[in-house]
Amino acid sequence: MVKIKNKITKSRWLAQTLWFVLFAHAVLFGVAPFGSSASTRNIFIPNFTTRFLINSPGYCYMYEMQNAVQGGYNLSYLNIIIPLLIVIILILMLGRVWCGWLCPFGFFQDLISYVRKSARVRYKELPYGLVAILDRMKYAILFMIILILVGISIPAFGLYYFRSDLALPYCQVCPVRPLYIFYQQLFGMERWSTSIPELGIILLGTVIVTAFIVRRSWCRVCPMGALLALFSRRSLTTLRKDGDKCIKCRVCLRACPMDIREVYEEMEKDNISSPECIHCYRCVELCPEEGCLSVAFANKDIVKSKPMAKK
């Protein structure tokens, strides 16, 4: 059995578990169904849950924007702009901390990794070229989603007559939707006859398999993460490095679940936050050099690396 020894990892697991149980999936665990009222149903934050979870207190901004663009709110621009502005402000505050600490599907992948570790199976190290391709793929997926949404919303683009088949394009392939519907079926909250998009089922199966082999496999191509990545460089929450203290031990690179090389290679810049970084802070936690790596909010250090105490 894998034992969690480090404080940052313990704190992150606690945050993920509490968010998963008390907010994202509250209704599944018998917690008060906050989402049963209209005032608490429409909460939009970077990573919450899915619109297809009964009485969820909120859902992802991707659904809200898709529905608004498709004319679900009579093309009211406020229903597109307001959720997007809220999400952007939250990203500018915390960056992709939402991905590493609060995303329910990220937590699901971490649980799969925990099973892998418990089984003493080593993860697969991806070639740098493949990592770069996967990093760019999420932007391509986000672009295609936007392209389809615009195409089915404006008759002049020729896809208007396919709007019923192409409605909510991200939700058609999102692996979270079938996972949550399956949750509800197990809890008796959803009928077993409920239709689930086949592409979503296939992608969910793929993620489950790949997440056992590659750390955070879905996060590498997640289009929701793509929008977070676009604004994360301007975030108040940053990962910092004192290059003079780095001994090039590569511990940070090996610890990074997203295989980000900047944290290891960069020696000149103070702010080494990468758009692909999910802010799990494993690199800070495992760095053996005092103060070499740190986490800062508004340029004030919160946590610094330090040598692990010897037994």
* CATH number, position 300: 3.30.70.20
Residues 284 and 240 in one domain: yes
CB atoms within 10 A of CB 26: 20
Of 270, 281, 264, residue with least CA distance to 95: 281
- Sign of the Cα torsion 46, 49, 54, 56 reads negative
Q: Which helix (H) or strand (E) holds 83?
A: helix 78-94
Task: Determine what percent of the chain is predicted with pLDDT higher than 70.
Answer: 86
Q: Which helix (H) or strand (E) holds 184?
A: helix 176-186
The pLDDT of residue 279? 94
Residues 126 and 249 in one domain: no
Residues 22 and 72 in one domain: yes
Residue 102, domain extent: 7-229
Position 50 confidence tier, pLDDT thresholds 50, 70, 90: confident
Please indicate, yes or no, if residue 2 is contained in any of the structural domains: no
The pLDDT of residue 77? 64
The pLDDT of residue 294? 95
Please indicate, yes or no, if residue 311 is contained in any of the structural domains: no
Residues 129 and 269 in one domain: no
Contacts 24+ apart (CB under 8 A), 152-157: 152/70, 153/69, 153/70, 153/71, 153/75
Cα-Cα end-to-end distance for the chain: 21
Residues 167 and 293 in one domain: no
- Rounded to two decimals, the pTM is 0.86
Position 3 confidence tier, pLDDT thresholds 50, 70, 90: very low
43-74 exposure pattern, b = at least 16 Cβ within 10 A, e = fewer: bbbbbbbbbbbebbbbbbbbbbbbbbbbeeee
Between CA 24 and CA 133 the distance in angstroms is 31
- Of 183, 202, 229, the residue at which a domain comes to its end is 229
What residue has token string 């009485």? 55
Task: Determine what percent of the chain is predicted with pLDDT higher than 90.
Answer: 45
The pLDDT of residue 4? 42
- Sign of the Cα torsion 168, 82, 108, 280 reads positive
DSSP conformational letter for 295: E
Count of domains for the chain: 2
Position 304 confidence tier, pLDDT thresholds 50, 70, 90: very high
Give the tens place of pLDDT for each residue, 137-184.
999 999 998 888 888 877 777 777 777 778 888 888 889 889 888 888
